């Protein structure tokens, strides 16, 4: 009797496992180019600055996730972070005819007192014909109190 009960329990357990398709939305991340930006002409150590940017979505499945930025020393790479829904119903959007979307982030200036090193922002502009990343570089002088 115990063997039958264990067999029945095993059959119920196995049959309760579903091999159906996962209904969770599938997505991947993509960094979009920065169309335009506004940065200060100079910055002061210890102060915060808002960096304004515009971008365009290539499809209606690109969802804004935030600003992508990676800082190494005094150089910051900036782009627009999106997640893209993996959906066959996605529609491409005309980049020429759409109004740019706006976003911003707060940049806090950190530095070593009396350093003459400027901050360099590299705004992601897309890829060239060889698949290499293209950046527009801006150097911003740092001033001290």
Q: What is the pLDDT of residues 92-107, one digit of tens each?
A: 888 888 899 999 999 8
- Which pLDDT score is estimated for 46? 85
> Is the model's pLDDT at 16 over the cut of 70?
no
Q: Give per-residue pLDDT as tens, 113-145.
A: 666 788 899 999 999 999 999 999 999 998 876
25-143: CATH topology is Immunoglobulin-like (2.60.40)
Distances in Å between the alpha carbon of 30 and those of 77, 79, 100, 112, 115?
15, 10, 17, 34, 35
Mean pLDDT is lowest, of 10-14, 86-90, 96-100, for: 10-14
Instruction: Kindly list the domain boundaries of the chain, sorted by start residue.
Output: 25-143
Q: What is the mean pLDDT of residues 31-47?
A: 93
Within 8 A by CB and 6+ apart from 142, the residues are: 42, 43, 44, 45, 109, 111, 115, 116, 117, 118, 119
**The whole model's pTM is what?**
0.77
Q: Name the helix (H) or strand (E) containing 31.
A: strand 27-32
Residue 74 per-residue DSSP state: T
Residue 37: both structure tokens together: 């930006």
């Amino acid at each position: 009797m115990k063997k039958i009960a264990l067999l029945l329990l095993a059959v119920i357990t196995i049959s309760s496992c579903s091999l159906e398709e996962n209904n969770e939305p599938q997505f991947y991340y993509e960094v979009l180019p920065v169309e335009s930006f506004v940065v200060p002409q100079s910055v002061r150590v210890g102060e915060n600055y808002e960096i304004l940017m515009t971008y365009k979505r290539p499809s209606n499945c690109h969802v804004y996730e935030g600003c992508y930025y990676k800082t190494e020393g005094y150089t910051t790479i900036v782009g627009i972070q999106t997640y893209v829904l993996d959906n066959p119903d996605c529609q491409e959007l005309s980049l020429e005819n759409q109004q740019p979307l706006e976003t911003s982030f707060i940049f806090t200036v950190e530095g070593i007192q009396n350093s003459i090193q400027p901050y360099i922002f590299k705004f992601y502009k897309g890829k060239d014909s060889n698949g290499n990343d293209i950046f527009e570089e801006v150097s911003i002088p740092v001033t001290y109190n």
